[in-house]
Homo-oligomer: A and B are copies of this chain.
Amino acid sequence: MDRWFICQRVAMAERIERADAARNRSAILRAAERLFAEREAEGVSIEEIARAAGVGKGTVFHRFGSRSGLIRELLAERSHALEESTRSGPPPLGPGAIPAARLNAFLDAVIAMATRNIALMAAYERSEDGRQEAAMYQTWHRHVSALITSARPDLDAELLAHILLGSLHSDLVLHLLRRGETSRLRSTLHQLVETLLGPGGAAPPSPEVSDR
Q: Name A residues whose Cβ lies closer than 8 Å to a Cβ of B.
A: 42, 126, 128, 130-132, 155-156, 159-160, 162-163, 166-167, 169, 171-172, 174-176, 184-185, 187-188, 191-192, 195-196
Contact = CB atoms under 8 A, between A and B. Distances in A.
Contacts of A196: 195
A128 B171 contact: no
Contact of A132 (B132, B175, B184): B175
A159 B171 contact: no
Given A169-B166, A195-B196, A196-B195, A159 B188 contact: yes
A68 B191 CA distance: 36
Nearest to A42: B128
Contacts of A130: 171, 174
A150 to B, nearest CB: 18
Contacts of A131: 171
Sorted from nearest, which 3 A-B pairs have the closest CB atoms?
Answer: A163-B167, A166-B166, A156-B188
11 contacts: A130-B171, A132-B172, A155-B191, A156-B184, A156-B188, A156-B191, A159-B184, A159-B185, A162-B172, A163-B172, A166-B169
